[in-house]
Structure 1
Amino acid sequence: MTLQLFGHPFSSYTWKALIAFYENDTAFTFRNLEEPGAAEELEARWPLKLFPVLAEGDRTVLEATAIIEYLHVHHPGPVSLIPADADLAVQARMLDRVFDNYVMGMMQRPVLNSLLPEDRRDPIGLDEAMAKLDKVYAWLDAHLAGRTWAVGDSFTLADCAAAPSLFYADWVHPIPEALANLRAYRARLLARPSVVRCVEDARPYRHYFPLGAPDRD
């Protein structure tokens, strides 16, 4: 059965799933939600219409992390994104949540805030989110000392999450120059062929970014 991934090329969480496909050259059909019929098929499988969503036959898998886990179990490839070592697997899953919840989650606050009417915006909550992001940046910088990837020398689920999180977070709230480990890690992620492909495929949609995409990356 053909794997189908419903998503959008500019979506951070779609990137996360796409990176897993590209790392192992896993065959699939990408259902771009701007194409006719794709959004309706997505809604039929998942009424909340959130994405990415993976479909294989009658089976539907929601959420990027679960999609990567599904590929690991049912369509494994040479790049094992879930480490075989149980302790490293725990670390990869933990950092996956760190990047999703505390990097991407905080980054999305100013983006979503900018979409609200002026009288509904929350400058105090926005300042608190950026303060939390600064703390996460510093924590990650210390964590990454001496590491190539998030949990050591192997590219994992955590790095699939880190690539879009740090790509967009640095647009919204630049990583300070002093955090050399984190900045170098972001650069390594953006040089990874699977991530390069996502960046280039998303480039035509940069005008969608509500805060204005910077002229870099």
Structure 2
Amino acid sequence: MTLTLYAHPFSSYCQKALIALYENGTPFEYRMLDDEQTNSELAALWPIKRFPVLVDDGCTIVETSIIIEHLDLHHPGLMRLVPEDARAALDVRMMDRFFDNYIMAPVQKVVSDSLRSAEARDPQGVAEAREMLDRSYDWLNKVVDGREWATGEAFSLADCAAAPSLFYADWVHPVSGAFGNVRAYRSRLLVRPSFARAVDEARPYRHLFPLGAPDQD
């Protein structure tokens, strides 16, 4: 049974889904969103036109966290990304929401604002987004102290969310030396083979980053 993923390698949320697929070596067809035909297919599947989108035996699954949970349920591999234990699963889901809402969302605010015309920009909103990132870094710095991964010793859905979030966040609002645990965690994510593969696949598209991609990972 073929899985089909509509995605672009430079998208943080697509990278999140790709990490999950790569972690378990799950076979899938990669429909890269870089031409009119594929974009039209995406629009027909999901009129909201947000990606990634997974198609599994005619069923369309949207929203990256749900895609990863779907994979865990219907295409399990050697590694579970959401624990079977309900209490542990809540911790993983909470951290997943933290990275999406309090790291990636303010990053997107700063990036999106840079694409606006000068008169339409929102400096107060950007300042608030950067403040949120500093608060998030400070909180996370305490949480990951002594942990290998987001919720402990096991790599999970939360780390799939963390990897691209912290990767791009450091481009937009650098993680300072004051947050050494966050910097170390980001470094561990970068050498995780599944994320390292996603980062390498995205390298040809770095010129698309509106703020200018730094010459570093």
Q: For this structure pair, what is the TM-score category when the shorter chain's length is used for normalisation? A: over 0.9
**Residue 144 of structure 2 aligns to which amino acid in structure 1?**
L
In the alignment, which residue of structure 1 is the partner of 2:198?
198
Q: State the shift of 1:183 in Å.
A: 0.4
Q: Residue 178 of structure 1 aligns to a residue in which SS?
A: helix
TM-score, scaled relative to structure 1: 0.98
Give unpaired runs (5+ residues) of structure 2: none
* In structure 2, distance between residues paired with 1:189 and 1:153: 13
Shift of 1:35: 4.0
Measure how far apart 1:109 and its partner are: 1.1
AA partner of residue 84 (structure 1): E
- Give the match for residue 89 of structure 1: 89
Which 4+ runs in 1 deviate beyond 3 A?
Answer: none
Identify the residue that residue 30 of structure 1 maps to in structure 2.
30
| 1:160 correspondence with 2:160 | yes
Structure 1 residue aligned with 2:112: 112
Q: CA deviation at 1:138?
A: 0.3
Structure 1 position 36, deviation (Å): 5.2
Matches of 2:170 and 2:26, distance apart in 1? 29
Report the equivalent of 1:41: 41
Residue 56 of structure 1 and its aligned partner are, at CA, apart by 1.4
After superposition, give the CA deviation of every residue in 1:116-154 in whole Å (9 maximum; x if it has no partner): 111010111111110111000000000001100001000
- In the alignment, what sits opposite 1:75? 75
Q: Does 1:174 align with 2:174?
A: yes
Q: Deviations over 1:43-91 (max 9, x none)?
A: 1110111100000122000011000000000000011100122211101
SS at match of 1:30: strand
TM-score by length of 2: 0.98
What is residue 7 of structure 1 aligned with on the other side?
Answer: 7
CA distance in 2, matches of 1:185, 1:178: 14
Name the SS for the 2:153 alignment partner: coil
Q: Which residue of 2 is the match for residue 99 of structure 1? A: 99
2-structure distance, mates of 1:216, 1:154? 27
Distance 1:57 1:68 in 2: 16
Quick one: which amino acid aligns to residue 20 of structure 1? Answer: A
What is the identity percentage for the equivalent residue pairs of Structure 1 and Structure 2?
A: 57
Counterpart of 1:183?
A: 183
In the TM superposition, residue 37 of structure 1 has moved relative to its aligned partner by 1.9
Q: CA deviation at 1:113?
A: 0.3
- Larger CA deviation: 79-88 vs 146-155: 79-88
The one-letter amino acid paired with 2:206 is R
Aligned-partner SS, 2:177: coil
